Structure 1
Amino acid sequence: MRSINNAVFLICITTLIVCCDSPTPKSKKETTSQEAPKGMVLIPEGSFMMGSSDSQARPDESPVHEVKVDGFWIDQTEVTNAQFAAFVEATGYVTTAEKPVDWEEMKKQLPPDTPKPHDSLLQASSLTFKTTNGPVDLNNYAAWWEWKPKASWQQPRGKGSSIEGKEDHPVVHVSWDDANAYAKWAGKRLPTEAEWEWAARGGLKDKKYPWGDEDINSGRVKANSWEGSFPYDNTNKDLFFYSAPVKSFEANGYGLYDMAGNVWEWCSDWYHYDYYKTLEGKTTSNPQGPDGSYDPYNPYIAQKIIRGGSFLCNDTYCSGYRVASKMKSSPDTGSQHTGFRCVKEL
């Protein structure tokens, strides 16, 4: 039975980690005359080449294609623990990680005849990071992730841990469903993938990172990422092993913080491995993403896009802090390195 449980655990790790009408465009004069909502920054309308074809790009980042985006407001920072706590206090909301896993729902996302795992793997829990004792196969995510009972946004490292003193850190262990619920409560929504990338670029054209093309490990510290040999040796040049308080690093050209590193950020779009191919050779205005999700490596799992990289990203296996980089995860899953920020219509 233990071997069966381990098999299911590996399936879960692999699948969950590896991972309307458009508004009428408004003039720049109109958009800049509005008073900014608290904590939000105006992103102007514009067009850009979305995606990447450089040596670090993954297949789902290409082909590069032109996108036009209307102006919008976006949170200057990732949603913090304090902000999420206000939402929970006002609504009584219970996050996905704080609820036991519904096996009947979960097995719909797994290969037929997958045996039910032990009840210990179905209790309220979330994915937490653990360092390894040395080099490991970087395709084996289970080497550095574990399901930690009671891990949640309030106890990010499991039972007994706390967010006390970390009110200004980004909230983590939030699923897409949790992030979407917060956004609706706040009168906002999650950004589309196109909006997110346009904002992350900060007004720079065809650059690799929010700050330009300089390598993340060169010069000044630019973001909260993994420095050293992942996942066993972090030199902590950026001074943070896990998440950092928002605004700990320099903002991009639009005044946005942590568009690279710190925590991955949920987007509204479904993930489809070859969606960009449907946009090749044309200009698309305000793309909303594919109608559904498909990943040939995880065909049973519907997944949403996450952007921006996290404190665990390192060039040896992730490079998620590139503006075109993306990963994906099932919408009912949270983890220790995933959070979000919101946008608002003009």
Structure 2
Amino acid sequence: MARTTIPRRPRATGLAAASLLALLAAAALRTGVSRAENAAPPPDPSAPAPAPSSAPAPASASASTPPPAPGDAPPPPPGDVPPPEDGETDEPAPTAPPTPPPGEARRSHAPPKIAVPYADGMLRLPGGRFSMGTADPLAPPNERPPHHETVAPFWIDKTEVTVEAYRACVNRHMCARPSSRSAQCTFDLDDPNLPISCVTWKDADTYCRAVGKRLPREAEWEFAARGNFSVRYPWGGGWTYCALAATLVRESSSRTCTGQRPARVGTHPSGSSTFGVLDLTGNVEEWTADWYAEHVAEGASPRSGASHVLRGGGWLSSPLASRATSRNWGSSMEAGPNVGFRCAKD
């Protein structure tokens, strides 16, 4: 039987195959170049390996420390603890201006500094007619309404009377030793430059007379603090903080700017008044010569009473109770660690 021969499909010649491969390679090359222009370069073999991407915690991680909820602050690193609450630390008091409470606008302009004669620790103020008190509706009633007062020229101590000066009077047997009613009374704190405290009105009056001076009248005290300028504090600001005066650090705190005692006299020069009188706000409240009355009309200081006027607030007073118009009173027995004085003379 004869075999039937099926013709085979002819193969491409070597030249045709080479041409086809060249076309395919060219097309592939064009596509690769186009993609490479928009692709990141290949990694450098000599470069360090990239950090591994974040991945979910392994199943063996402790279940007692759940991840924080959205919006929660991350937990502190090991060894860190939250800061203590107010009053639980002895760190220095803040010296930056706090945010004033509602209604307490901070004033931006300080009164000018007026040069006045200075001698023997005293400043001679020119006197004059000025507005005493305030029209601020938020101020206590005993500061309102404002009224005009006239004071003659007078001298006033630049600082509060110091422990050193008062001790000298005691050593001359001309002054009584202050009663030690508190461990915070300054007479026995071994710092001669602290303001004397824990003195009664009689103690203060006796000292001033013993050194040829007198207690300032209330109108004189406020003139020394404000002059002819309607300022809230002696330096002109609408608020106070620890760099300017030794008071409580804020209205809602029992923490003081100075720890367990007042500041040395004269250590707050930025808080001086327009005349350069120091520490009229804070440190120690200051006795004046006047009897206290709830409201005082122009030139009508009472001739008698049950208590005397205290001005300026102290290191245990709130900032609002230490303004230039703030008025307080103390009985004949008042002699706490917040109470001191300065003297004046004609």
Scaled to the shorter chain, the TM-score interval is 0.5 to 0.7
Give the counterpart letter for 1:65 in structure 2. Answer: H
Structure 2: runs of 5+ lacking an equivalent? 1-115
Deviation at 1:324, TM superposition (A): 0.8
**C-alpha RMSD of the superposition:** 2.2
1:340 paired with 2:336, answer no
58, 80, 87: which is aligned to 2:162? Answer: 80
Give the equivalent residue in structure 1 for 2:265: 246
What is the identity percentage for the equivalent residue pairs of Structure 1 and Structure 2?
A: 33
CA contact (8 A) 1:272 1:292 kept: no
Question: What is the CA–CA distance in structure 1 between the aligned matches of 2:277 and 2:221, rounded to whole Å?
Answer: 11
274, 277, 280: which is aligned to 1:256? Answer: 277
Give the equivalent residue in structure 2 for 1:108: none
Question: What is the CA–CA distance in structure 1 between the aligned matches of 2:333 and 2:166, rounded to whole Å?
Answer: 17
CA contact (8 A) 1:307 1:320 kept: no
Give the equivalent residue in structure 1 for 2:189: 163
Give the counterpart letter for 2:238 in structure 1. Answer: E
Give the equivalent residue in structure 2 for 1:305: 309
235, 240, 244: which is aligned to 1:222? Answer: 244
Residue correspondences, number: 229
Give the TM-score, by structure 2 length.
Answer: 0.61
Question: What is the CA–CA distance in structure 1 between the aligned matches of 2:235 and 2:342, rounded to whole Å?
Answer: 19
1:43 paired with 2:145, answer no
Deviation at 1:79, TM superposition (A): 0.1
Deviation at 1:231, TM superposition (A): 5.4
Cα deviation 1:209-234 (Å, max 9, x = unaligned)? 101133114xx7210110146554x2
93, 98, 103: which is aligned to 2:175? Answer: 93
CA contact (8 A) 1:153 1:174 kept: no
Change over 3 Å in CA distance of 1:215–1:36 after alignment to 2: closer
Rg bigger for which structure? 2
Cα deviation 1:8-55 (Å, max 9, x = unaligned)? xxxxxxxxxxxxxxxxxxxxxxxx7xx754100011121111011214
291, 301, 304: which is aligned to 1:292? Answer: 304
* Local SS of the residue matching 1:66: strand
CA contact (8 A) 1:308 1:325 kept: yes
- Equivalent residues in 2 for 1:195-206, closer than 5 Å: 195-201=220-226, 203=227, 205-206=229-230
Deviation at 1:333, TM superposition (A): 2.2
Structure 1: runs of 5+ lacking an equivalent? 1-31, 99-124, 129-147, 155-161, 294-301
Change over 3 Å in CA distance of 1:57–1:239 after alignment to 2: same
1:185 paired with 2:206, answer no
CA contact (8 A) 2:128 2:151 kept: yes
* Local SS of the residue matching 1:320: helix
Give the equivalent residue in structure 2 for 1:136: none
CA contact (8 A) 2:285 2:310 kept: yes
Give the equivalent residue in structure 2 for 1:212: 236
* Local SS of the residue matching 1:177: helix
Moved more, 241-250 or 76-85: 241-250
CA contact (8 A) 2:231 2:238 kept: no
CA contact (8 A) 2:258 2:315 kept: no
Higher relative contact order (CA 8 A, sep 6+): 1
Question: What is the CA–CA distance in structure 1 between the aligned matches of 2:250 and 2:139, rounded to whole Å?
Answer: 21
Give the equivalent residue in structure 2 for 1:114: none
Give the TM-score, by structure 1 length.
Answer: 0.61
